[in-house]
Amino acid sequence: MSGSNIFAGTSGGGVYLSSNNGTGWTTVDSGLTNPYINALVVSGSNIFAGTGYGGVFLSTNNGTSWTAVNTGLPANTFVQSLAVSGGNIFAGTYAGVFLSTNNGTSWTAVNTGLPANTVQSLAVSGGNIFAGTYAGIFLSTNNGTNWTAVNSTPTNCDVWSLTVSGSNIFAGTHGGVFLSTNNETSWTAVDFTNSSVVCLAMSGSNIFAGTNDGGLFLSTNNGTSWTAVNSGLPANTGVLSLAVSGGNIFAGTNGGGVFLSTNNGTSWTAVNSGLTNTGVLSLAVSGGNIFAGTNVGGVFLSTNNGTNWTAVNSGLPANTEVMSFAVSGSNIFAASWSTLAPFRGVGYGVFLSTNSGTNWAAVNSGLPANTEVMSFAVSGSNIFAASRSAPTTLGSVGYGVYLSSNNGTGWTAVDSGLTNPYVTALAMSGSNIFAGTNGGGVFLSTNSVSVL
């Protein structure tokens, strides 16, 4: 930020400016010959942009025009990070750290004590300069003249980001987020380490997070801290899906079937009787019914909180993967595709059951052929489906969001403004629908029907 101006650097799109708190954005790229912006910092009235293989650019007029300021930097420098300390500007690059004391007019390498590798992140805390590298974190107390390894760095040394909040220093690594409250004398994990979060669920004020190979975590304070809640779950299990039914929490795992907790995750019990496929990709609750979508096993139904399960696949193709469900009144929608030869490419699309899974029928009119539906969202009588065509058949044809307002009888593309159509997740919040994309960020629609 610079005064009331907000600047956003993009990967390939240059720099954008908003002077109205993000309500509108304007491209400010004149003179910016490299549009891959990895870092932005403000020093007084000067704005510096660090680019991919283009070095550093400076604007003295709020982004109206930019000038390359690379004297002393290696040719085609990849600038990963920038930091300001008083009148000093630091640039973290693929060739180490460089310092400018004259607003970018010239740069000098300040790497004594640093390893010969990439500096991915920089942070300033008082007179201390921190550099995050893939060999750990280094500290300089003399404006980069010398650097010293901080030997108590987090257990995962690939440090991609650093930030300072008061006396707290946060380090973002490939092993999670770590916090130091004592200038890196010691670190504490404040995030689930070495795992990707693949599902979330709310139960009252409790937030549950399922990870790809680290089990389940619980936060009771809006995500400020998390605690592993894996008692009764297999070691290092992947929790792929979650569902809440009253005081019951159901967790679908990547090979252990379904587990139930009746005490907010304090303990878990396997509830798999009749569940012949234990790779549970999706879960849904409809009244007293629990539906489990499996990996090449179709859909299973429990009417007694998981005590018993019955396959309910009449009308579904053989060897069906069910990646997601949507519940709209008494209607259950299932996103299906077959992955095993010779069934690959057979049965893609959306299937509907109006009788609790007793029968399923394809409802794909208006959807592209061989559609994989990645996610559903429901708003009243509107069903939204995030779709992509099977890569084995039609390449990228059919990516985008589709809407049905007649229980799947027909679908219509609703993609206006959606510049990245590869939508992997949908979520509703009141009348707002959010679309998470693969590589394009998040898009918002406030009119629930025509524009995303």
pLDDT band at 450, cuts 50/70/90? very low
pLDDT band at 328, cuts 50/70/90? confident
Non-local CB neighbours of 423 within 8 Å, separated by 6+ positions? 374, 375, 386, 387, 399, 400, 401, 435, 436, 437, 438
Q: Based on the fold, state whether residues 182 and 298 are members of the same structural domain.
A: no
Whether residue 282 has pLDDT greater than 80: yes
- CA 316 – CA 298 distance, rounded (Å): 7
For Cα atoms 416, 419, 423, give the angle at the middle one, nearest 5 degrees. 90
Q: How many domains does the chain have?
A: 2
Query: Among residues 140, 166, 189, which one ends one of the domains?
Result: 189
According to DSSP, the residues that pair with 159 across neighbouring strands are 173
According to DSSP, the residues that pair with 177 across neighbouring strands are 172
Q: Based on the fold, state whether residues 278 and 379 are members of the same structural domain.
A: yes
What is the DSSP code (8-state) at residue 368? P
User: Does residue 1 belong to any structural domain of this protein?
Assistant: no
| CATH assignment of the domain containing 330 | 2.130.10.10
Non-local CB neighbours of 3 within 8 Å, separated by 6+ positions? none
In the chain, % of residues over pLDDT 90: 35
Q: Based on the fold, state whether residues 221 and 153 are members of the same structural domain.
A: no
CB distance 435 to 419 below 8 Å = no
- CA 112 – CA 143 distance, rounded (Å): 11
CA dihedral 58→159→215→234, nearest 10 degrees, is 150
Confidence (pLDDT) at 309: 96
Instruction: Write out the DSSP string of 260-323.
Output: EESSTTS--EE--TT----BEEEEEEETTEEEEEESSS-EEEESSTTSS-EE--TTSPTTEEEE
CB distance 349 to 373 below 8 Å = yes
First-last CA distance in the chain? 28
| Digit-coded pLDDT (tens) for 231-261 | 999 987 889 889 988 889 999 999 899 999 9
| Digit-coded pLDDT (tens) for 143-164 | 899 998 875 555 556 677 787 7
What is the DSSP code (8-state) at residue 336? E
User: Does residue 450 belong to any structural domain of this protein?
Assistant: no
Q: Based on the fold, state whether residues 178 and 247 are members of the same structural domain.
A: no
Longest dimension (CA), the chain: 74
Instruction: Write out the DSSP string of 155-221.
Output: SS--EEEEEEETTEEEEEETTEEEEESSTTSS-EE-S-TT--EEEEEEETTEEEEEESSS-EEEESS
Q: Based on the fold, state whether residues 120 and 267 are members of the same structural domain.
A: no
Q: Based on the fold, state whether residues 214 and 102 are members of the same structural domain.
A: no
Q: What is the mean pLDDT of residues 338-366?
A: 75
Query: Among residues 164, 189, 214, which one ends one of the domains?
Result: 189
pLDDT band at 117, cuts 50/70/90? low
Q: Which amino acid is at 269?
A: T
Identify which has the larger pLDDT, 151 or 419: 419
Q: Based on the fold, state whether residues 176 and 206 are members of the same structural domain.
A: no
CB distance 225 to 252 below 8 Å = no
CA distances in angstroms from 161 to 9, 78, 202, listed in the order given: 16, 16, 29
Lowest mean pLDDT among 86-100, 128-142, 273-287: 128-142
pLDDT band at 417, cuts 50/70/90? confident
User: What global pTM score does this model have?
Assistant: 0.58
For 450, left (φ over 0), alpha (ψ -120 to 50), or beta? Answer: alpha
